[in-house]
Chain A
Amino acid sequence: MKLYFRYISILLKSQMQYRASFLLLSLGQFFVPFSVFAGLYFMFERFGNIRGWTFFEVALCFGVINMAFAVTECFARGFDTFSRLVVSGEFDRILLRPRSTFVQVLGARFEFTRAGRLIQSVVALVWAAMNLSVKWTVPKIITLVLMVVSGIFIFTGIFILAATLCFWTIQGLEVANIFTDGGREMAQYPLSIYKKWIARFFTFIIPFGCVNYLPLMYILDKVRENEYLYMLTPLLGMAFIVPCLFIWEMGVRHYKSTGS
């Protein structure tokens, strides 16, 4: 853990060297989800609701998912750009060091500019939370926090899986974007608006449903019985990372250096 913070402080210093570029990039990162959010707002202005969900309900969903995604991109960027380590043979050096590969890859990259994205999603989240006619009790706030944390775990899991694929394919695969960026775009709306098979896939295979749909039902008082079950679903979502880590370890053992 100490090692990881060392990594972070070094990377922060190096990124701060180009201050103007850093600020511009953060600003850019703010506008990317902002434009999507504006689109969302205008769609609701025209259509009123989406399968019975109102704007602020969806905005809450949007905030949670984008917050989780921003944090993940900030921390786990090392996995996102992992193919470079494999292609260049840099990963050999990581294997030689007497620390876990997981921490080292995690600390390899750290994108502070994602703070822009994070700020945008926090604003969306707070704005939505204040405008919803929901009583914010302690268990509900805990659930909300759990949703974000669980989202971070799931996105990190997907990043790890995509990185693990590189052990076999060497090149990074654009297809993996379906689950990272695609997962984000999709989970901005409650999963119930999609076709059944998609909603099922994203609940039981990749548990986004445990982050946005099921706990949201509880927060918005849409369920009457078994409330605690709904409240705890984010914990199930977190479990997603366990098999991912196993697969990662398997991949590391399979690794053959590219040599250069």
Chain B
Amino acid sequence: MKTYFSVFRLRLINNLQYRAAALAGVATQFFWGMMHIMIYEAFYANAVSTPPMSLKQVVTYVWLQQAFLVFIALWVRDEEIFNLITSGNIAYELCRPCNIYGFWYAKLIAQRLSGAMLRCFPILILAFFFPEPYRMTLPPSAMSFFLFIISLLLGLMVVVSISMLIYISVFITMSPVGSMLIISTAGEFFSGMIIPIPLMPLWLQKVAYFLPFRLAADMPFRVYTGHIPPAQALTGMLIQLIWLGILVLTGNAFMKRIMKRIVVQGG
């Protein structure tokens, strides 16, 4: 465990160096957030029936999406790992005296965590000072906030275990771009990044609830806004834990099988 923790720490420190790039990213995300809020505002302005989510909740949802984009987006990828696999340098990784699944897992979590740490604070702080209707709101209770933090972290672990499966698939396909684009597009849609899940038609909501993607984004964000009350949030976290178990176990099993018949590409 200690090894994985130090991998995590090194990676975190390393990534925190890229502050200027993160700042540029923040500007872009502000723009996206504003734009989406304006679109939602226009939709809400003459809604025929009362939508299942208030505009205020949607605004907060959008800002949380932007702030934690690096946490939840499946297209965030570590080129290093891809290159390891396709260039054959994977051989060095195999020499390390630790489980390769855990090693990469720690690395990927650190990558996302550092990205979010750099970006989320400027976005969230400024979003609280924006003029209405763009202002972000506080969670309804301390309990909601607490549960939000925990479910967000659990969600991060779910996302990383999904992306681990994608990395493992590279061993077989060797060319990750296409399949990754398709999975991440579907994942983005079903995690409520395009439109919040409560605004989808009912049949589609059912599909989204069945899949694990929403656990990283939609669920924690709605816990924050109070759209999911604390009691329900606890059930949600149980589901997160179950998914996490399934994903990590399958990932580990696949990894072991692939390692047995691995082909090292070139030198």
Contacts and interface: CB of A to CB of B under 8 A. Distances in A.
Given A51-B45, A175-B27, A185 B35 contact: yes
B35 A186 contact: yes
Contact of A49 (B46, B182, B189, B201): B46
Interface residues of A, number: 40
Contacts, number: 103
A25 B35 contact: no
Chain B: interface secondary structure?
helix
B213 to A, nearest CB: 12
Contacts of B24: 173-175
Contact of A38 (B51, B189, B199): B189
B181 interface: yes
Given A31-B181, A31-B185, A50-B43, A42 B31 contact: no
Interface in A7-48: 18, 20-29, 31-32, 35-36, 38-39, 42-43, 45-48
Contacts of A36: 194
Contact of B182 (A20, A31, A38, A45): A31
Chain A: interface secondary structure?
helix
B5 interface: no
Interface in B175-207: 175, 177-182, 185-186, 188-189, 194-195, 199-201, 204
B25 interface: yes
A134 interface: no
A104 B253 CA distance: 49
Contact of A25 (B38, B48, B181, B188): B181
Interface residues of B, number: 35
Contacts of B186: 31, 35
B38 A198 contact: yes
Given A50-B43, A193-B42, A24 B179 contact: yes
Contacts of A29: 181
B177 A174 contact: no
B38 A27 contact: no
B121 interface: no
B130 to A, nearest CB: 13
A22 B178 CA distance: 8
B211 to A, nearest CB: 14
Contacts of A47: 43-44, 46-48, 51
Question: By CB atoms of chain A within 10 A, which of B21, B178, B201 has the most?
Answer: B178
A28 B47 contact: no
Nearest to B43: A47
A195 interface: yes
A42 B190 CA distance: 13
A32 B185 contact: yes
A177 B69 CA distance: 16
A25 B179 CA distance: 7
Contacts of A38: 189, 194
Contacts of B188: 35
A240 interface: no
B125 interface: no
A36 to B, nearest CB: 6
B28 interface: yes
A21 B178 CA distance: 6
A189 interface: yes
A190 B168 CA distance: 43
Nearest to A24: B178
B189 A28 contact: no
B35 A175 contact: no
Interface string B159-179: 000000000000000010111
Contact of B32 (A22, A50, A185, A189): A185
Contacts of A18: 175
Interface in A170-184: 173-175, 177-178, 182
13 contacts: A21-B178, A22-B178, A24-B177, A25-B181, A28-B177, A31-B186, A35-B188, A47-B43, A51-B45, A182-B28, A193-B38, A193-B39, A194-B38
Interface of A: 18, 20-29, 31-32, 35-36, 38-39, 42-43, 45-52, 173-175, 177-178, 182, 185-186, 189, 193-195, 198
Given A18-B175, A195-B38, 6 more contacts: A20-B175, A25-B178, A28-B179, A47-B44, A47-B46, A182-B31
